Amino acid sequence: MTDHAHIDHQVLSDAADWFALLRSGDASPKDNQRWLTWLKQHPDHVLGWQLVERIEQQFSAATGNHPDHTEATLQQARTNRLQRRTMIKGMGAALGTLGLGWFGWQQTSLPQIAAAWQAQYRTGTGDIQQWTLADGTQLWLNTDSAVDTFMEGPLRQIQLIRGEILIQTGADTRPLVVYTPQGELRPLGTRFSVRRGDHETFLSVYEGAVEITTRHQQRTVVKRFEQTRFRQGHIAPPEPARLSQQAWHKKRIIAEDIRLADLIDTLGRYQHGHIQLSPRVADLRVFGGFPLDNPEQALGMLEKALPIRIDQPLPWWTRIEPAPATP
């Protein structure tokens, strides 16, 4: 999420703690009054609270609001009630082209959501799937992704509606074109991945080459082991790409000296809920392989390897802080 980037880490943490206490059923009238006092203290407190509420609603919608999940939420809150009540009291004191025409792109989010739900191939959050298309092309969809394909006629076409795909082209000699809102990609017998961002398309080439043509008709060819990103009127200079970047199709992420913040951003795409990372540990460097289909296991591995502490005040809110200093 981008709309809470400016909110202080501690404010978000406090908002999650207040939410856990108030939803636990154990909050006293004084707790409610202290929460209201905290809420009025600063506009960011309201924004933090609204974010926690929104994530809870999204989690409930994604999980079907199953009674087991509701009970787990309440039980987790009750388990931590005493510790949270003590902490919150302290807080209270401190307050004192052809193809593009054929696909008919629309840039608003609602048509994209509708198109994703009606797509020929799609995956949900945390889901990774593989298909073999009629022309022999191998197609992998990453988490929360959707594509439509049209394999009839002289031109094979793939529309990336949302998310990320990995393609290993088949032996069919007809041209293959992948479309995104920023332009089109024509592989030259290759293996490559395409990820759709809000305003950019990201391309990584692992075999062969891919020609990019933007909506404004800029062109370039991206070669093997190169990657780039492009907008409707601009193509960034190619950079080196790593084979490990395609490991997601095997449900793994390979960390090769990357920031913990970057790894957490990736893991967050594979689970419902929110992972809150303290800025004090965001720049820790991470090495190793982690499972994408089991984010909880991945977080446990990180907690063993790094000086961090992970807790979960709510089933849909995970918090990562520096590990306590050992005496």
Q: Is the pLDDT of residue 109 over 60?
A: no
- The pLDDT value recorded for residue 84 is 46
Average pLDDT rounded to a whole number, residues 111-116: 66
Residues 38-54 pLDDT 10s: 888 888 888 888 777 77
Q: By the 8 A CB rule, do 290 and 314 touch? A: no
Q: Is the pLDDT of residue 265 over 60?
A: yes
- The pLDDT value recorded for residue 147 is 95
Mean of all residue pLDDT scores within the chain: 82
Long-range contacts at 205-208 (CB < 8 A, ≥ 24 apart): 205/241, 206/241, 206/243, 206/246, 208/169
Q: Is the pLDDT of residue 3 over 60?
A: no
Q: Is the pLDDT of residue 89 over 70?
A: no
- Determine the distance from the C-alpha atom of residue 206 to the mean position of all C-alpha atoms in its chain, rounded to a whole number: 23
Residue type, 5: A
Banded model confidence at residue 117, pLDDT cuts 50, 70, 90: low
Banded model confidence at residue 111, pLDDT cuts 50, 70, 90: low
Banded model confidence at residue 106, pLDDT cuts 50, 70, 90: very low
Q: Is the pLDDT of residue 66 over 50?
A: no
Banded model confidence at residue 138, pLDDT cuts 50, 70, 90: very high
Average pLDDT rounded to a whole number, residues 246-275: 92
Q: By the 8 A CB rule, do 273 and 319 touch? A: no
- The pLDDT value recorded for residue 107 is 42
Residues 271-297 pLDDT 10s: 888 899 999 999 999 999 999 988 889
- The pLDDT value recorded for residue 74 is 47
- The three state secondary structure string of 230-252 is EECCEECCCEECCHHHHHHHHCE
Query: Is this structure's pTM higher than 0.75?
Result: no
Report the distance separating Cα 153 and Cα 161, nearest Å: 21
